Amino acid sequence: MNQTTIRKAFRVSGHGLHTGRMVTVLLQPAPADSGILFRRTDRLTIVTQPATADRVGTTSRGTTLGTGRQAIATIEHLMSALHGMQIDNVLVELDGGEVPILDGSARPWLQQLQRVGVMHLDVPRKEMRVEKPLHFEFAETGSVYDVEPSEQFSVDCVIDFPGSVIGRQEAHLDGFAQYAQDIAICRTFVFLHEIEPLLHLNLIKGGSLDNALVFVNKELGARQQRRLERMFHKDSSTLRVHDGVLNTTDPYFPNEPARHKLLDFVGDIRMVGMPPIGHFTIYKPGHKANTAFAKYMIANCLHSETTK
């Protein structure tokens, strides 16, 4: 139960989901008690930021660490993979302002972490253990979080999109043994009617049918079909709607959206600053609510112990 880091450094390059810009990320081993650290190398002044909830800036369609010219967007999938691999210490350097979206899941990060391996350090791990039940509600989004004492990290997740092709779905995670197979591979998703407004907000410039599931609530008309061809740079013959999903590939699971929301939560809740230990029941989670809940946990889970 000692702290961990990665055995050797590695690089990953890809386009940011929202900016569309190419970014290279370098992950490096870090000594014990460093925590998970991020910094941008494309700035004249280099600022190292711990991945903690109090450092979160915006949460629009992702979790952004920091603000202004030092902001680093869309960190949640990388954070989820680091949490899933139970890595305590790592330095993440980027030559841009957004972590690449890659395939829209945590799988590419997990594969690289598995490839380089985990190194155990000679310092006991620090954990945030829940000693008494906690209840938290985030009225803005109708999100509800409950956590109870447990000997391991586990999550029951429920999402609910009334009147949509997604509807109510559930997903579960008991420890991290099945994280890679059941959660890490699940891709981000968006509703078709959200795409154009997001583009107008200067977001999802790097989104595509290769890194997101696009759900369609109604039948496509000829005009909308032509707009989609231009938007996704696809020929109409390659665009299809199957079971409410506009994609050239099918979902990996019937409840892939719920599993992806759980994936995001695994990343966001790691921003309490150390591995949290407890059984979490979460309803309608999202980045803004997850961050507020992480701050609530930091304020109310005063007992952080070093395992023996």
Measured between alpha carbons, how far is 170 from 140 in angstroms, rounded to an integer? Answer: 21
Chain position carrying tokens 């972590």: 99
Catalytic residue among 18, 260, 279, 287: 287
Burial class of residue 281 (count of CB atoms within 10 Å of its CB; 0-12, 13-18, 19+)? middle
DSSP the chain: -EEEEESS-EEEEEEBTTT--EEEEEEEE--TT--EEEEESSSSS--EEE--GGGB---TTS--BS-GGG-BB--HHHHHHHHHTT---EEEEESSSB-B-TTSSSHHHHHHHHHH-EEEEEEEPEEEE--S-EEEEETTTTEEEEEE--SS-EEEEEEEETTSSSEEEEEEEESSTTHHHHTTTPPPEEEHHHHHHHHHTT--TT--TTS-EEE-SSPPPHHHHHHHHHHHT--GGG--EETTEESSS--SSTTHHHHHHHHHHHHHHGGGSS-EESEEEEES--HHHHHHHHHHHHHH---EEE--
135 is catalytic: no
175: left (phi over 0), alpha (psi -120 to 50) or beta: left
* Interstrand relation of 213-215 and 245-246 (parallel, antiparallel or unpaired): antiparallel
What residues act catalytically? 287
